Amino acid sequence: MAVGNPTKSKSSLNASRQCRDPEVTRSQILNAAEEEFAREGFRAARTEAIAARTGVTKAKIYYYIESKEGLYRTVLERCSTELLPAIEQLNLDQLPPEQALEQFLRQFLTHTSSNPNIPPIMFLEAIQNKGKYYRDTANLLIKLVEILERGIAAGSFRPLDPRHTAVNILGTCVFYFGALENIKHLWKGKRLLSKEMLEQHTQEALNFILAGLRWQPTSP
Amino acid sequence: MAVGNPTKSKSSLNASRQCRDPEVTRSQILNAAEEEFAREGFRAARTEAIAARTGVTKAKIYYYIESKEGLYRTVLERCSTELLPAIEQLNLDQLPPEQALEQFLRQFLTHTSSNPNIPPIMFLEAIQNKGKYYRDTANLLIKLVEILERGIAAGSFRPLDPRHTAVNILGTCVFYFGALENIKHLWKGKRLLSKEMLEQHTQEALNFILAGLRWQPTSP
DNA sequence: GTCTATATAAAGATAGAC
DNA sequence: GTCTATCTTTATATAGAC
C-alpha cells in the first residue's frame, strides 16, 4: 500500500491519462477512489469504476494497490490528516469561548468547503460500517464539547446540554454536504459547491449556530 | 410487488418464523428490508441479508417481491406516506410563524424518533443514488422555507436566508440519526435511540433552532 | 509497468420438487 | 407456499504476455 502524496492537485476526473510517473498515478488513483467512495461507500464502490475515473485499466489499479479495503483505508486516512492538526494549532484553549468557537467553526467549514467529499464519506462510513474503519470524528466532537462547556461555565453561552449541542452544531455544518442531492432543488440552476454558495453556507451556518447559543432577549 | 400493510408492528428482527399469513410475511419482509436498506443503501444491501433478517429463505423473499429494486421502491414509498400528510393536517398556514415552525418541528422530530431508519435511508439515497428513487424530501424543505419567509416578512425572525436556514434546521434535526455511530462515543453506555435520549434530542434541537432565529440582544 | 484474458467468489434471480 | 439446487451476472483479484 502506502499510496499517495496528498499535496498534489486533486481534480481527478479525466486526469492526464497514460502518465508514467508512479507518484502521479498513485495520486490519481487515490483521488478517483475518494470520489467513488464518497458516492458509494466501501461496499458498493467498484474497483472497475475507480479505474474508469482514473482513466486506466483495473489491472493497473491492482498493480498500485494491495486491495480495495487497503485503498479505502488509505482514503480515510488522507481525509483525516489535515483538519485536526490545523485545529490544534489554533490554541483554542487560550481564547475566550465565543472566539474559540468561531475560530473552530471557520476552520472546520473552510476545510469542509475545500474537501466536500469528506462529509459523504464520513456519513457512509458511519451508517454502513458503523465506524469500523474510522472513528476520528469523535475527536472533533470532543473538542467542540470542551469549548461549549467552558462557554457555559463562563456564562458566555446559554445553559444547554453541551453534547447534544455539539452534535447539533456539527449537523448544521455538514448536512449541506451530505444532502446535496436532496436540497439542490431549492436552488435550481445553481451549483451548490460554487465558491459563492459555499461562502453563503459558511456565513449562514456560523450566524445560525452562534445565535443559537446566545442568551435570549426574553430570559436573561 | 404491492407489498405490505404499514400499520402492523414494525419490530422485525427474529419475528415469528414460519408464519403462514401472507400479509404478515409481506410486512415482515418490508420491515427487514427497511433495516437492511437503512444500513447499506440500495446497492450494497443483500437480498440474502434481508432473508436472514426476516428468518426465511431467499427463494421465499422472491416469491413475495418482484425484484430488489421493486422492494427498495416500496420501502421508500412507505417511508414517505405518513409525515407529509400529518404536517399538511396541521394547517400551518393559519398559525403565526413562530408557532407554525414549532409545530412543524415537533411533528417532524416525533415522527423521526419513531422511525429512526428514515434519516439514514434518505442520506444513503441522496448520496448513493442522487435521489433517483426518491425526491420528496424537497417538499418538506419547501414547506419549511415558506414558514421562514413568512416569519421574516412579519419580523418574527431575524433577517436570514430562508433556504440556507431551512437546510441548516433540517440538518440539526436529522444529523443525530444519520451519524449515530460517529457520535455514540460521547454518551458511553447510553442507547441513543432510547426514549430518554430521543426526548433530549428533540428538546435540545428545538431550543437550538428557535434561538437561532430570534432577534439577538445586540441588534434589535 | 501495462495490457488482455481469466480464475474465483459473491449476489440477484429462477427452476422444479414437494 | 416453501424449499434445495442452480443459473447468470457482476465484481474482486490475479496470471502471464508484452
A84-110 residue pLDDT tens: 999 999 999 999 999 999 999 999 999
Q: Do A160 and B217 count as a contact with CB atoms less than 8 A apart?
A: no
Confidence of residue A1 (pLDDT cuts 50, 70, 90): very low
pLDDT recorded at residue A136: 84
Of chain A residues 201-220, which have a CB less than 8 A from chain B? 201, 204-205, 207-209, 211-217, 220
B6-37 b/e (C-beta count within 10 Å ≥ 16 → b): eeeebebeebeeeeeeeeebbbbbbbbbbbbb
Based on the fold, state whether residues B203 and B110 are members of the same structural domain: yes
Per the domain annotation, does B16 fall within a domain?
no
Q: Do B171 and A174 count as a contact with CB atoms less than 8 A apart?
A: yes
B168: nearest CA partner in chain A: A172
Q: Give the percent of chain A with pLDDT over 90.
A: 85
| Per-residue pLDDT at A24 exceeds 80 | yes
Based on the fold, state whether residues A55 and A111 are members of the same structural domain: no
pLDDT recorded at residue B217: 76
**Domain containing B204 — which CATH number?**
1.10.357.10
Per the domain annotation, does B5 fall within a domain?
no
pLDDT recorded at residue A5: 41
Among the three residues A35, A62, A78, which one is the final residue of a domain in this structure?
A78
Per the domain annotation, does B56 fall within a domain?
yes
Range of the domain at B204: 82-213
pLDDT recorded at residue B22: 87
**Domain containing A29 — which CATH number?**
1.10.10.60
Alpha helices in chain A (DSSP H): 22-44, 47-54, 58-64, 68-80, 83-88, 97-114, 118-129, 137-153, 162-178, 180-183, 195-213
Q: How many A×B Cβ pairs under 8 Å?
A: 198
Based on the fold, state whether residues B144 and B51 are members of the same structural domain: no
Q: Do B127 and A178 count as a contact with CB atoms less than 8 A apart?
A: yes
Based on the fold, state whether residues A68 and A163 are members of the same structural domain: no
Among the three residues A32, A56, A78, which one is the final residue of a domain in this structure?
A78
Q: Which residues 57-116 in chain B have a CB closer than 7 A to strand D? A: 57-60, 63-64
Q: Is the CB of A58 under 7 A from strand D?
A: yes
Based on the fold, state whether residues A55 and A118 are members of the same structural domain: no
Based on the fold, state whether residues A148 and A189 are members of the same structural domain: yes
Phi, psi angles (nearest 5°) of residue A111? -60, -40
Interface residue B59 vs chain A (CB under 8 A): no
Q: What is the mean pLDDT of residues A27-40?
A: 98
Please choose, from the candidates B119, B101, B112, B142, the residue with its C-alpha nearest in 3D space to the C-alpha of residue B202.
B112
Please choose, from the candidates A215, A135, A207, the residue with its C-alpha nearest in 3D space to the C-alpha of residue A173.
A207
| Alpha-carbon span B72 to A46, nearest angstrom | 21
Higher pLDDT, A43 or B8: A43
Per the domain annotation, does B73 fall within a domain?
yes
pLDDT recorded at residue B135: 81
Per the domain annotation, does B3 fall within a domain?
no
Q: What is the total count of domains within chain A?
A: 2
Based on the fold, state whether residues B184 and B104 are members of the same structural domain: yes
Based on the fold, state whether residues A68 and A135 are members of the same structural domain: no
Higher pLDDT, A43 or B137: A43
**C-alpha distance from B189 to closest chain A C-alpha (Å):** 14
Based on the fold, state whether residues B193 and B122 are members of the same structural domain: yes
Q: Give the percent of chain A with pLDDT over 70.
A: 90
Based on the fold, state whether residues B180 and B206 are members of the same structural domain: yes
Per the domain annotation, does A14 fall within a domain?
no
Per the domain annotation, does A220 fall within a domain?
no
Based on the fold, state whether residues A136 and A200 are members of the same structural domain: yes
| Per-residue pLDDT at B154 exceeds 80 | yes
Based on the fold, state whether residues A72 and A145 are members of the same structural domain: no
Q: Which bases in strand C are touched by protein, i.e. have an atom under 7 Å from a CB?
A: 1-5, 11-16
